[in-house]
Structure 1
Amino acid sequence: MSKLPNVSTSIFTIMSKMATEYNAINLSQGFPNFPVDERLTDIIAKLAKENVHQYTPMAGYPPLMNQIAKLVQKSYNRTIIPETEILITAGATQGIFTSILALVKTGDEVIILDPSYDSYESPVLLCNAKPIRVALNDDYTPNWQTIEKACSTKTRMIIINNPHNPTGKILAEADFVQLENILKKYPDLLVLSDEVYEYITFEEKHISAHTRKQLLNRCIMISSFGKSFHITGWKIGYVVAPEHLMIEIKKVHQFLVFSVNSICQVAISEYLDIVDVTKLGKFYQEKRDYFKQLLSKSRFELKPCQGTYFQVASYESISDEDDVTFCKRLITEYGVAAIPISTFYANGKDLKLIRFCFAKDNTTLEAAAERLCNI
């Protein structure tokens, strides 16, 4: 009997496979197609001949953990203890999985805000716990009244994603106040804050859970070097959590992967001395604005994007097809792959919206836009 009977091939795999079959421009999957910073690849080339190919300590390469502590201090003015509050993971997804597996027990409930990343629900189910899917408002702001109604003494965790994938929305100060009020009513409730796009924000910087004093003792932070440094294939992320939670997370981590890719940890540790993460937002904002300009004469309506490298677009004036059907036809007839937003909802809610990834070189964006403007 399957432990995940309702899990099938992901929409990302389906769309990417179709994109290959029809030689379509793939704006569906969320990874960049432009080169990695040469300074980082030079570091890797240098390290390849050095003695950095064996296991690191279970929690991570100590110099990298120290660099993360400095990064968090500089970015959010939060002091963390590397040895007890940081864990290097095989990507953010492994950090999410490990944290949920460590902290959620049979019979617990976990609130997931839809539309949501598809890797949130499965670890909850594998814990024999119950995912409670609560839809965001249609403008992708949280409905805190509905969220609070979904809470009970069984609720162990609320998962937030900020900046939000797939919508590019960021949480406001008022959202954190509402969240903190809920936590006051439920003292055993934890927050898992997925902030993998934390350095990819535009006109307004996102408010990190790192900056919320009332959350720090009850929050698990998830971050991703893969997203920040355009190295998604390296699968390097990290978790920050208070010691009493990190003890439990490390127990699971040591039996899941034990330790993470050594040369990549050493390389990122050295790279953090020379890279300026504050420039990432400007870089991607230029991408977002250029893509928006390219599509200005199309029939798509682009929705506001405050962060991440995804652009949500309405095709309501083009077709009344459901979004999955429309995305498949977009590939077969027009040669561009996108992701239907309904697949991020538990109930398949269809608002005639699709998601494009604009983390592509300008040539790719221009070619895709030319096809999209012909629809």
Structure 2
Amino acid sequence: MREHGVAWVTGAPGLVAAVRSAKQFLTYVASGPFQYAVAEALRLPDAYFEEFRAGMRAKRDLLAAGLADAGFGVFVPTGTYFVTTDIRPLGETDGLAFCRTLPERAGVVAIPNAVFYDHRDAGAPFVRFAFCKRTEVLEEAVGRLKALAG
């Protein structure tokens, strides 16, 4: 049985009823276990979330500025923890190839955006970097990327 799409099952009425019940809970409440975590989070004071947002914004800004300084074209996000970049200013056009060699060249990992596109060529020159890291890790990554570009 799949979570999305059409599925069929045959069997004794009791077994079919059990499968139907399980599917209902899996399909419509797949995130049921997370509800306890959400309930806990909702009990936190507003100050926690304000501090969290400010911290993430500072990390985003640190990484985005560092990537721009390293020569990347940068798209500053407003609702994710990934900074998408354009690698063409670096003389690169193939994000997949760029990302495959980046760990060896700079000790940094990026994700090629082409894997999220129906038409991969459209996403080929874009790669993204996560900023949901410790500040020290981001500072080191920025330094390594600047050295790579320089």
Q: 2:64·2:76 contact (CA, 8 Å) conserved in 1?
A: no
1:286-326 Cα distance to aligned partner (Å, 9 max, x none):
11112123334211121131221110011112233411001
What are the residue-to-residue correspondences of 1:67-86 with 2, within 5 Å? none
SS of the residue aligned with 2:90?
A: coil
- For the pair 1:374 / 2:144, whether they are aligned, the reply is no
Q: Could you say what secondary structure the match of 1:346 adopts?
A: coil
SS in structure 1 at match of 2:147: coil
Structure 1 residues 329, 259: closer, same or farther in 2, change over 3 A? closer
Shift of the 340–259 alpha-carbon distance from structure 1 to 2, 3 Å rule, reads closer
The one-letter amino acid paired with 1:373 is K
Question: Radius of gyration: which is bigger?
Answer: 2
Offset, 1:370: 0.9
- Is 1:365 the counterpart of 2:138? The answer is yes
Q: Do residues 252 (structure 1) and 23 (structure 2) align? A: yes
Q: CA distance change for structure 1 residues 267 and 302 in 2, over 3 Å: closer, same or farther?
A: closer
How far apart, in 1, do the equivalents of 2:93 and 2:37 lie?
A: 47
Deviations 1:17-69 (A, max 9, x none): xxxxxxxxxxxxxxxxxxxxxxxxxxxxxxxxxxxxxxxxxxxxxxxxxxxxx
Aligned amino acid, residue 127 of structure 2: I
Q: Secondary structure at the match of 1:317?
A: helix
Output the CA distance in 2 between the equivalents of 1:347 and 1:271: 39
Query: Paired residue for 2:128?
Result: 355
One-letter amino acid of the structure 1 residue matched with residue 97 of structure 2: T
Q: Does 1:287 align with 2:75?
A: no
SS at match of 1:337: coil
Number of the residue aligned with 1:272? 42
Does residue 311 (structure 1) correspond to residue 61 (structure 2)? The answer is no
Q: What amino acid is the match of 2:43?
A: D
Counterpart of 1:327 (choices 90, 96, 99) is 99
Whole-angstrom distance in 2 between the partners of 1:254 and 1:327: 39
- Change in Cα spacing, 1:255 to 1:298, as seen in structure 2 (3 Å) is closer
Report the 3-state secondary structure (helix = DSSP H, G, I; strand = E; otherwise coil) of the residue aligned with 2:89: coil
Tell me by how many angstroms 1:374 deviates.
Answer: 1.2
Task: Name the SS of the counterpart of 2:70 in structure 1.
Answer: coil
After TM superposition, the score normalised by the length of structure 2 is 0.70
Sort the Cα spacing of 1:301 and 1:267 in 2 relative to 1 into closer, same or farther, 3 A.
closer
Q: How does 1:124-143 map to 2 (within 5 A)?
A: 126-127=5-6
What is the CA distance between 1:251 and its match in structure 2?
7.4
Any gaps of 5 or more consecutive residues in structure 1? 1-96, 102-125, 129-249
The alpha-carbon deviation at position 343 of structure 1 amounts to: 0.8
CA distance in 1, matches of 2:146, 2:72: 8
Distance 1:372 1:268, change over 3 A: same
TM-score, L = length of structure 1: 0.31
RMSD: 3.0
Structure 2 residue aligned with 1:343: 115
State the one-letter code of the partner of 1:281: R
- Paired residues in the alignment total 130
Partners of 1:266 and 1:251 lie apart in 2 by 20
Higher helix share: 2
Q: Between the two proteins, what is the percent identity of the paired residues?
A: 28
